[in-house]
Structure 1
Amino acid sequence: MLQPFVIQQVYDAFMDRAGKSGKMKINAFKMAYLETNPCANIYNLDMDAERAFLMFDTDRNGVLTFDEFLIAFVQMQLGSNNLSNCWQ
């Protein structure tokens, strides 16, 4: 279980990228993906980021809400095989 201060940090980081709409678009996600994966293969970065984005966008509306982002974050922290593979 995440501590409240961690959830707040994740929320603040998400909102910095999502803007006032509170919804993160693919381009903002790609930048965040690169920031959190500095060792990512630059040649596959776009494809990997898009694949991860599509996996996290559970309602398939083309944007990530904080809930979708947080669920993905928690699953990544728990080492879920389903989601962790998309970052490789």
Structure 2
Amino acid sequence: MRWLIYTLIPAALLLILLYRLWFDDTGLIASEKLQQEIEQLQQDNEVQQDQNDSLLAEVKDLKTGNEILEEKAREDLGLVRKGETFILFVDPAKK
């Protein structure tokens, strides 16, 4: 009877510890999942940082130069200079 107590109690404690090691909220599986989420968020941050950098460069150009203003006016607003001819090519409607 004593060997049963000396065997079952440590075995039960070992099983509890192993369960917590692997499957608990702070276990290895949860840690691996969190690590993957961190890596994904870091990649997303890098993409956002690249977009922010390009927008910042565009803002700098808009503040300092007239060339970018002229380019934006031509592309976005369709403006032309005096003496220029504006030609618009339209694709035929698809049926």
TM-score, length-scaled by structure 1: 0.26
Which has the higher Rg, Structure 1 or Structure 2?
2
TM-score, length-scaled by structure 2: 0.24
Higher relative contact order (CA 8 A, sep 6+): 1
